[in-house]
Amino acid sequence: MRAIAFMLAAAAASTAACREPETGGNLLPDPSFEAATAAGASGWKPRAWSGGAACRWSVETPGRTGARCVSIASERGADAAWTATASVAPRAFYRLSGWIKTEGLRGAAGALLNIQNLQTVRTRAIAGTRDWTRVETFFRAGEATELEINCLFGGWGEATGRAWYDDAALERVSDPAEDEPRAVVTVRAEAPDTAWSPLLFGGFLEHFDDQIYGGIFEPGSPLADARGFRTDVIAALKELRLSIVRWPGGCFASGYHWKDGAGKDRKPVFDVVWGVADPNTFGTDEFVAWCRLVGCEPYICTNAGNGTPEEMGAWVAYCNRPAGGAPARHGVRFWSVGNENWGGHEIGAKTPEAWGPFVRQSAEKMRAADPGIALLAAATPDRGWTLPLLRTAGALLDYVAIHEYWLPCWGRNLTPDYLTCIMHSEGPETTIARVVALLDEAGVRGRVKIAIDEWNLRGWHHPGFPRTGAPAVPDPAAAELIRQREKNAIASQYTMADALFSASFLNACLRHAEDVGMATIAPIVNTRGPLRVHRGGIVKRTTFHVLAMYANELEPRSVPCDVESGPLAHEGRTIAAIDAAATANAARTAWSFALVNRHPTKSATCVLAPEGAPPAGTCEAVVLAGDAPEAYNDADRPHRVEPLRTRLALARGAVTLPPHSLTIVKLKTR
């Protein structure tokens, strides 16, 4: 199979010609480890902070390229490195990159590249068993004139297993403020591909503010059907091909008793978590009926706060167990044990020691009611929580449930500018890699998947809440705090930064399609959701269009790709300016590439260079780019940011990516 390479380069304003990425030469000694010496690798020395006596540093044959590479191995645990020094210019920008392969690498961070005397600079870590994988990071040197570069094993902790390193590079790059964004994205058609799960395009709903009542459910509205379901919302969510929705929480779930929302005799119950009364007119039956109308799988989160394993089992039985010869009432496949029970903000928070046995007991009751369910449990990227969970209850689980919000707006409604927001775009990749390493260490990788079943750039704004206890009446002192939640609806917050962060998140999920089996944006409607619902209609926020593009424009299989991008810098942080994911059909004759230009003001040109001459003619593309980085949609201007379906000219293989944009390029290779 042939390799398909993409060169992303900035086009000069006055010409359509494209430039190769410009970088300085490699500053590392013997970066491919070809000049072996009696001591090991020329210019590199073994180093250990712990476990050195049982650690093995080796020069191996063959390498990824050339004859040699270096490796580090330990059976008992080590924190070690191959270390070299390099001279640099103060305050200049650099790229640190290399290739890492691992076998059974467990514990601590894994294998990575870092700078000993500039500790904030590190690539992503590789753990478990992985073939050669490229890693890179950008940084500014500060006042240092000499840097200590580590091919690191363990990463600030002891690890076991083995790692190989090859083709390391430290290269000076242009100042991002002066240069135009450019990158190289390489897809190797012979690399194994993976079918991505449609469950990556899911949503989440909680009994919080107006997500349910006044959101998806508004009896009496002229826009609602006879059961009270907003039909305009259903139609919009069908555009997203919404695959799964998680409900009823969230923190709400840790105080919710499902029988209060079932049957005909329902009474309002005061919700201590969010400080309001819930009428219970929307319960299990309504949720499942709504999901069937949308065409998505219902996913129920059980009460592991003040609930019991027996209550969870009864809920599964209510939904799934046939009775009296009749078929099962609902047939709900996806269930989770608890929500964020690792946190003190949650009713019934647990210790790591207590959580695993509780999950095991709950899972046994739930599977006794229906052995065919898919089961999740609240987890974190933290080794101290998730490893005990997997060792105790992992045999009964299908997923670990991870939550991440990268702007913590809980108590103060943060509204940073575009660049501050977009600097978080590489966070999802880091989180996923950490959880993959835990699955591998626990020995369940491949059987247990990752579900990021709450994710968003911005955390929900709810000062003073959630609460784990309160008077069973509305609290007058909390009324103003509850009104502060209206700040979640301010339309101007949801800009192209939210859109491109979401695209970067989905790209990371696609690159890890073998491990990430579900992702549900939190929430899907109102609060921070992609769809804003008001009494008179709906507004599709920038993130709505991103989800629609990914759900409708991709090919079904994710193909590994390596992205070599120029940097984007802001206030001491540096990320890649260009992000990409590649998908193809099974025959690899049709391709869709999701290309994100994170730069706020500069275009980039994508030069398609498959085998032989670059393609000519035109290709189909869908482009989402606002008229400014801070562009957003609201009720007055609902169509300010919308995707454009177009055809892009392939002049000598080049297509242009607008500033602050997502472009999905569609190609036929035969």
Per-residue model confidence (pLDDT) at position 615: 64
Q: Are residues 513 and 563 in the same domain?
A: no
Residue 548 lies inside a defined structural domain of this protein: yes
Per-residue model confidence (pLDDT) at position 595: 94
Which residues span the domain enclosing 517? 197-553
Q: Which of 139, 173, 207 is the endpoint of a domain?
A: 173
Phi-psi region of 254 (alpha: psi -120 to 50; beta: other; left: phi over 0): alpha
Tokens of residue 129, six digits = 């068993």
**What's 73's domain CATH number?**
2.60.120.260
Per-residue model confidence (pLDDT) at position 24: 62
Per-residue model confidence (pLDDT) at position 332: 98
Q: What angle do CA 634, 635, 641 make, to 5 degrees?
A: 40
State the DSSP string of 301-350. Answer: E---SS--HHHHHHHHHHHH--BTTBPPSS---EEEE-SSTTSTTSTT--
Residue 8 lies inside a defined structural domain of this protein: no
Q: Are residues 485 and 603 in the same domain?
A: no
Per-residue model confidence (pLDDT) at position 75: 95
Please state, in angstroms and rounded to a whole number, the distance separating the CA atoms of residues 52 and 81.
Answer: 10
Q: Are residues 163 and 212 in the same domain?
A: no
1 falls in which pLDDT band (50, 70, 90)? very low
Please state, in angstroms and rounded to a whole number, the distance separating the CA atoms of residues 433 and 520.
Answer: 18
End-to-end distance of the chain based on CA atoms, in angstroms? 12
Q: Which of 140, 173, 206 is the endpoint of a domain?
A: 173
The mean per-residue pLDDT over the stretch 99-116 comes to 93
Per-residue model confidence (pLDDT) at position 472: 56
pLDDT at 388 over 60: yes
Q: Are residues 499 and 580 in the same domain?
A: no
Q: What is the pLDDT of residues 563-586, one digit of tens each?
A: 888 889 999 899 999 999 999 999
* Pairing mode of beta strands 537-540, 531-534: antiparallel
Q: Which of 533, 553, 573 is the endpoint of a domain?
A: 553
Q: What is the pLDDT of residues 606-662, one digit of tens each?
A: 665 544 455 677 889 999 999 999 999 999 999 999 999 999 887 766 778 999 999
Higher-scoring residue by pLDDT: 511, 21: 511
The mean per-residue pLDDT over the stretch 492-513 comes to 98
Q: Are residues 581 and 446 in the same domain?
A: no
Question: Torsion angle, CA of 375/379/383/384, rounded to 10 degrees?
Answer: -110
pTM of the full predicted structure?
Answer: 0.92
* Pairing mode of beta strands 561-565, 567-570: unpaired
Which three-class secondary structure string do you get for 376-431? EEECCCCHHHHHHHHHHHHHHCCEEEEEEEEECCCCCCCCCCHHHHHCCCCHHHHH
20 falls in which pLDDT band (50, 70, 90)? very low
Q: Are residues 83 and 57 in the same domain?
A: yes
Contacts of 514 (CB under 8 A, 6+ apart): 194, 446
Share of the chain above pLDDT 90, in %: 80
Q: Which helix (H) or strand (E) holds 211?
A: none
39 falls in which pLDDT band (50, 70, 90)? confident
Q: Are residues 282 and 354 in the same domain?
A: yes
363 falls in which pLDDT band (50, 70, 90)? very high
My answer on whether omega of the bond before 248 falls inside 30° of 0, hence cis, is yes
Range list of H helices, 593-665: none
**Whose CA is closest to 181, among 296, 16, 9?**
9
Per-residue model confidence (pLDDT) at position 9: 41
Higher-scoring residue by pLDDT: 156, 629: 629
Q: Are residues 541 and 574 in the same domain?
A: no
The mean per-residue pLDDT over the stretch 503-527 comes to 98
Residue 297 lies inside a defined structural domain of this protein: yes
Q: Are residues 253 and 108 in the same domain?
A: no
Residue with token string 């029988």: 259
Domain tally, the chain: 3
Q: Are residues 220 and 157 in the same domain?
A: no
**What's 312's domain CATH number?**
3.20.20.80
Residue with token string 């009994």: 207
**Whose CA is closest to 204, among 456, 521, 489?**
521
Name the DSSP class of 224. B
Which of 174-188, 317-331, 433-447 is the least confident region? 174-188
pLDDT at 2 over 70: no
Residue 189 lies inside a defined structural domain of this protein: no
Residue pair 142/118 in contact (Cβ under 8 Å)? The answer is yes
Per-residue model confidence (pLDDT) at position 15: 30
The mean per-residue pLDDT over the stretch 346-374 comes to 98
Q: Three-state SS for 497? A: helix
**What's 582's domain CATH number?**
2.60.40.1180
Q: Are residues 564 and 548 in the same domain?
A: no
Per-residue model confidence (pLDDT) at position 530: 98
pLDDT at 186 over 50: yes
The mean per-residue pLDDT over the stretch 197-226 comes to 98
The mean per-residue pLDDT over the stretch 404-409 comes to 98
Q: What is the mean pLDDT of the chain?
A: 92
18 falls in which pLDDT band (50, 70, 90)? very low
Residue 429 lies inside a defined structural domain of this protein: yes
Per-residue model confidence (pLDDT) at position 4: 46
Residue 498 lies inside a defined structural domain of this protein: yes
38 falls in which pLDDT band (50, 70, 90)? confident
Residue 179 lies inside a defined structural domain of this protein: no
Q: Are residues 82 and 229 in the same domain?
A: no
Q: What is the pLDDT of residues 55-81, one digit of tens each?
A: 999 999 999 999 999 999 999 999 999
Residue 598 lies inside a defined structural domain of this protein: yes
**25 exposure class (CB count in 10 Å sphere: 0-12, 13-18, 19+):** exposed
